[in-house]
Amino acid sequence: MSTYVYGITAASHPALPEGMGGVGDPPRPVRVLREGELAAVVSDAPEGLRPKRRELLAHQNILSEVGAAGCVLPMRFGSVAPDDDAVTGVLAERAEHYRERLRALDGRVEYNIKANHVEDAVLHHVMAGNPEIRALAEANRQAGGGSYDDKIRLGEMVAAAVKAKEAEDGTALERALEGSADAVSVGPESTGWLANISYLVKRETAEEFLAAVDQARKDMPHLEVRLNGPLPPYSFVEPGPAEPAGTAAGGADIGAG
């Protein structure tokens, strides 16, 4: 039977509540494997596991329960090792790395920010800030809509200006919030959002970070800003002692198969 891994903690982490069930149908009992100063929260891995809503929620619920009692390094959904020995082997092999990450992430949570433009509002910004676009739009209006080429040219100019505004606003949003966080991890650009940013925040200063988000919404009302968290620090697990905390995203792998 292969082993499903939810996360890594210190061996001294408080015991799990009895009867916790994880992924699978029926839910597989959750247990703890210890190796030196580290422990892995695991269960037997069900066959044919798929990222369905019930399974994703089960994975997340286990991490939330474990994280409420202390620091946990969350694994990606679907992290499976061949057996328990493979898990403890990885804990032993990467012990220094995991101990460093547990120290660095102790008492911290992740907040993810995604943002996009409110279409009408950003078009207003683009028109107000670009005299050339305003002039062409007015010329087209006076000409009864303008020629086909003028319409195409106006559309291309507006699209380019909106794209530039996306980059500008994404940077502005990141800078507005980074002062309230310990580290920042920027998500991939191909997400459909102008900003997809994760922030590592001390639990004790979370209210300060949330206030900064509220202020950013007021300062940039042309943005739709979505906040998700607090989350286990998925985006800050992988960097090691010689790397900055915000260089990798998505949680760790442990002998994934």
pLDDT in tens, 78-114: 999 999 999 999 999 999 999 999 998 999 999 999 9
* Of the candidates 227, 232, 204, 198, the residue with the CA atom closest to the CA atom of residue 64: 232
pLDDT at 257: 33
C-alpha distance from residue 209 to each of 31, 185, 205, 244 (Å): 34, 15, 7, 21
Same domain, 102 and 118: no
Residue 240: inside a domain: no
The domain in which residue 83 lies consists of: 3-106
Q: Which of 80, 106, 132 is the last residue of a domain?
A: 106
Q: Which of 72, 106, 140 is the last residue of a domain?
A: 106
Question: Which residue has better confidence, 22 or 251?
Answer: 22
Strand segments (E) across the chain: 3-10, 31-35, 38-44, 73-74, 80-81, 108-117, 183-186, 195-202, 223-231
pLDDT at 158: 81
Instruction: For the chain, give the percent of residues with pLDDT over 70.
Output: 91
Same domain, 120 and 158: yes
| CA–CA distance, 194 with 116 (Å, rounded to integer) | 5
Residue 238: inside a domain: no
Same domain, 101 and 115: no
Total domain count, the chain: 2
Residue 257: inside a domain: no
pLDDT in tens, 132-148: 787 877 777 777 777 77
**Residue 191: which pLDDT band, with cuts at 50, 70 and 90?**
low
**Residue 183: which pLDDT band, with cuts at 50, 70 and 90?**
very high
The structure's pTM equals: 0.74
Q: What is the DSSP letter of 236?
A: G
**Residue 241: which pLDDT band, with cuts at 50, 70 and 90?**
very low
Radius of gyration over every alpha carbon of the chain, rounded to an integer in angstroms? 24
Count of C-beta atoms within a 10 Å radius of residue 104: 19
Q: Is the peptide bond before 230 cis (omega within 30 degrees of 0)?
A: yes
Same domain, 56 and 121: no
Same domain, 102 and 114: no
